[in-house]
Amino acid sequence: MATIERLDETTVARIAAGEVVTRPASVVRELVENALDAGATSVEVGVENAGLDLIRVTDDGHGMGRDDAVLAVERHTTSKLSGVEGVERVSTLGFRGEALPSIAEVADLVVTTRAEGEGASGTRVTVEGGETGVEAAGHAVGTTVEVRDLFARVPARRESLGTPKREFARVSDALSRYALAHPDVRFRLTHDGRTVLSAPGTGADVDALLAVYDRAVAGQSASLAANDEGDGGDGDVRVAGVACYPSVTRASKEHVYVAVNGRPVRDGDLRAAVVAGYGELLPGDRWPVAAVRVSLAPDAVDQNVHPAKREVRLRDPEGVADVVERAVREALSTADLARAADVAF
């Protein structure tokens, strides 16, 4: 007969870590979201061996004081929520306080940081094999997080990963999504010392698109924008972004990017709304290249439906989809499509 036993804390922590940190790309996502939440205007990501040997994320955000830096690596500590009401109205990308401790469960973690007005020296917090160390260390205002030997202590997880090439493709894809979701932030990704992505952070969607693709794609695009005041008291829906002309298509829907309140999401309905905006313009079996940013009041979106937060639930999905579809349709109707097609063929 089975007997029920209570799991010890270490096991519980390791299981929870497994949901947040599944592969190098999920570490990168969590660290980039922390940088964005800290108000960074520049986020530099360097990885070695697809992130298995090293992931380093440096930002110029507000940084942390010594006490906060020590607290940050502990479980369920966050500066972004207070109490259960807070979960209903989060406006930050993070809120669970799980990322840094989860990463420290499965890798060696070093956080070097300095808060504004904190004098010349910042703080370095090191978590290696469950031991936390704290020392003074120099750093510009902002934060650098280094993650070494990911999953070295969790061989089963390491073996379940794809090839380094495949894992790096996921890292690169994640960075592309954040660059398109935050065209006002400078992003740089290097792999084994080689620059793979460099988005300038000008605020123009087309510049982010150019960084992720090339001139052949970005040169064939129109900006899109639409607002809806919202009649049912749901507040504003604002849509911005960039849509390529129907002369630029892809065989996969992965080139339709959607972000909600700064978070890249996989949302079939919003993606379908983008495609619907093209109407009859797309050839059969082909998908457009487009990046759409949706901004909603924090309480119009539930971010807490997925451990890795890749999905969100909207309070008014149809209403939002309508604004997205209209934004795309209007952008394409004002573009000189005949001329664009001439250039393309």
Strand 256-260 relative to strand 290-296: parallel, antiparallel, unpaired?
A: parallel
Closest by CA position to 91, among listed 256, 260, 253, 227: 260
By CB under 5 A, residue 40 contacts Mg ion: no
Which of 145, 274 has the CB closer to ligand ADP?
145
The site partner of 78 among Mg ion, ligand ADP, none (C-beta below 5 to 8 Å per kind) is: ligand ADP
Question: Which DSSP category does 51 fall into?
Answer: G
Choose one: 29-37, 131-139, 200-208, 301-309; the region binding Mg ion (CB under 5 A). Answer: 29-37
Pairwise CA distance, residues 52 & 8, whole Å: 28
Q: Between residues 35 and 208, which has the closer beta carbon with respect to ligand ADP?
A: 35
CB of 76 to ligand ADP, least distance (A): 9
Which partner from the list Mg ion, ligand ADP, none does 35 bind, CB cut-off 5 to 8 Å by kind?
ligand ADP
Partner in contact with 316, chosen from Mg ion, ligand ADP, none, beta carbon below 5 to 8 Å by kind: none
Binding site for ligand ADP (CB under 6 A): 30, 34-35, 38, 59, 61-64, 72, 77-80, 94-100, 143
Does 101 participate in binding Mg ion (rule CB under 5 A)? no
The window from 46-54, 99-107, 179-187, 247-255 that contacts Mg ion (CB under 5 A) reads: 99-107
User: Is 32 an interacting residue with respect to Mg ion (CB under 5 A)?
Assistant: no
Q: How far apart are CA 145 and CA 142, in angstroms?
A: 10
Of the two residues 51 and 61, which places its CB atom closer to ligand ADP in the complex?
61
DSSP state of 300: G
3-state secondary structure 148-211: ECCCCCCHHHHHCCCCHHHHHHHHHHHHHHHHHHCCCCEEEEEECCEEEEEECCCCCHHHHHHH
Output the smallest distance, CB 34 to ligand ADP, in A.
Answer: 3
Question: Among residues 109, 110, 192, which one has the least CA distance to residue 153?
Answer: 109
Distance between CA 121 and CA 155 in Å, rounded?
Answer: 37
Residue closer to Mg ion by CB (options 99, 209) is 99
H/E run at residue 45: strand 42-48
* Neighbouring residues of 233: CB distance < 8 A, sequence distance ≥ 6: none
E strands along 87-148, which residues? 108-114, 122-128, 131-137, 142-148
Residue window 75-94: x/- pattern of binding to Mg ion, with contact defined by CB under 5 A? -------------------x
Minimum CB distance to Mg ion, residue 30 (Å): 5
The correct pick among 27, 29, 34, 294 for binding Mg ion (CB under 5 A) is 34
Q: How far is the CB of 299 from ligand ADP (least distance, A)?
A: 19
Binding site for Mg ion (CB under 5 A): 34, 94, 99
